Chains A and B, each alone.
Chain A
Amino acid sequence: MCVLCGEFVSQLHWTDRHVEDQARAAGSWGTAGDYQRTRRRDRYYRAKLTNEVLRFYGLKVGDWAGSKYVLRDGKGRSELVQNLGALWPAAQKLAGRPIDPLDPALQAAMCEAFNINAASTSKG
């Protein structure tokens, strides 16, 4: 149980499991510091990638106390979520519209944004 928030930390979402499973498989956790650093790096990376999508909804996610994510709408509203499983429903609520990777409007926005990035990279 997490002493900070009282939740079961064993409730890992399937997207968060790799770091813990790797540590278990290695038969050791390295030092506690190694594990925590790997876990934190993994979480930051996940937040960064998620933000690549959330920005199309005017939202942003950041690390909170190394254990949760804080989702913000840039207008003062925020919500704490445990993992990606909880993130999308919370984001949908804050965004006020459905969040769906099958949405052609999202895909069009992503294609435009990423193609522009790709073009500037190849020029540079």
Chain B
Amino acid sequence: MGSGKTTLLSKVLSAPSLSNTAVLINEFGKVGLDHHLLRRADEKTILLGNGCVCCTTREDLLRTLLELLDEEGRGELPTLDRVVVETTGLADPAPILFTVFSHPVLQHHYRVDLVISTVDAVNGELHLNLNPESIKQVAAADAIVLTKTDIAVAGAADALRVRLYGINPSARVFEAPFGEVDPDELLRPAANPYEPRPPGANPEGADPDTPGENARHVSRTHSTSLTFDGPINWTAFGVWLSMLLHARGEDVLRVKGFLDVGETGPVLLNGVQHVVHPPNHLEVWPDNDHRSRLVFIMRGIRSDELLTSLEAFRPLVGAGPRLLEANVPL
């Protein structure tokens, strides 16, 4: 089938800044990747007792990442700057994050930089309609690359951007005609948690949704962007969010953003279902807007349910939520 992922990967890896990169692929024989350090990973997982799919260890990945550390330590490999883990078309990114964050050795030697999801501009809408896994990949992404925009019909890429924004307004979207994308731009960390709204995106703002509208859409994955009316208590917020993820973690596909916790800089929060990145407390804010900005990507949970919950927890959290945008994917 070819989503254009391999072409993209080989072009991105050809950048000089990415020469010290190892690539974990799921099958050999892929064109254009021969000159890189390649390892094969076959996506075997260990399921933990609690049965939660996102909190599984990718056994193959664990073994390979440890091997790379070993070989680098013994001088058998040049210093690695980056490992790119390629996944199969419908793979869930959460186990990869879990594997790195939860392992006592890996968590000190590797940092998850970003999740990149590819969406085929020709078949993308169809995939999103038919495959919940592809929606999960969009939700988990920090960057989304639209492939095959060179052969897609006119307007397809723009329509996809609107659809993707509705699911995940925090992801940076790149177009890669002929697999071409600027690798340094792609890998550059985003300065702020929201992307500019694409033309045609029509989020519902501060006006409350009518209950009927909301109910119709809630089974589909949708995003809610909110702020708080003051600095929040980070410890209390952790109590609330860990409680939410316990109860509904499977349905909270993503939590991402900057939180004003009354310090000199924000806390960067980034979670994919039950798997939460180690939060990053920044020294300073990236720009002059020092308000919290948090995106929730959920299914089966209404925006107003989330806001009501946070409002009830206001005495502990210290500030109340304010809706910025509720996106309903078209």
Binding site for B on A (CB under 8 A): 8, 10-15, 17-18, 21-22, 25, 42, 45-46, 49-50, 52-53, 84-85, 87-89, 92, 98-104, 106-107, 110-111, 114, 117-118
User: Which residues of the partner chain B approach A15 to less than 8 Å between Cβ atoms?
Assistant: 235, 238-239, 242
Q: Which one of B163-171, B202-210, B307-315 is at the interface?
A: B307-315
- Asked if residues A52 and B316 are in contact (CB atoms below 8 Å), the reply is yes
CB distance from A110 to the nearest CB of B (A): 5
CB distance from A97 to the nearest CB of B (A): 11
- Asked if residues A89 and B244 are in contact (CB atoms below 8 Å), the reply is no
Binding site for A on B (CB under 8 A): 50, 102, 104, 107-108, 233-236, 238-240, 242-244, 246-248, 271, 276-279, 281, 301, 305-306, 308-309, 312-313, 315-316
User: Which residues of the partner chain B approach A18 to less than 8 Å between Cβ atoms?
Assistant: 234, 279, 281
Most interface-central of B50, B104, B234, B246 (chain A CB within 10 A): B246
Partner of B247, one of A13, A49, A102, A104: A102
- Asked if residues B108 and A49 are in contact (CB atoms below 8 Å), the reply is no
- Asked if residues A99 and B246 are in contact (CB atoms below 8 Å), the reply is yes
- Asked if residues B305 and A102 are in contact (CB atoms below 8 Å), the reply is yes
User: Which residues of the partner chain B approach A99 to less than 8 Å between Cβ atoms?
Assistant: 243, 246-247
User: Which residues of the partner chain B approach A117 to less than 8 Å between Cβ atoms?
Assistant: 315
Please name the residue on chain A nearest to B305 by beta carbon: A102
Measured between alpha carbons, how far is A52 from B312 in the docked complex, in Å?
A: 12
Please name the residue on chain A nearest to B101 by beta carbon: A14
Determine the main DSSP class of A at the interface with B. helix
User: Which residues of the partner chain B approach A89 to less than 8 Å between Cβ atoms?
Assistant: 50, 246
Measured between alpha carbons, how far is A99 from B246 in the docked complex, in Å?
A: 8
- Asked if residues B242 and A92 are in contact (CB atoms below 8 Å), the reply is no
User: Which residues of the partner chain B approach A50 to less than 8 Å between Cβ atoms?
Assistant: 239
Partner of A100, one of B107, B236, B248, B281: B248
- Asked if residues A107 and B312 are in contact (CB atoms below 8 Å), the reply is yes
- Asked if residues A102 and B301 are in contact (CB atoms below 8 Å), the reply is yes
Measured between alpha carbons, how far is A25 from B281 in the docked complex, in Å?
A: 10
User: Which residues of the partner chain B approach A88 to less than 8 Å between Cβ atoms?
Assistant: 242-243, 246-247
Partner of A22, one of B107, B278, B281, B309: B281
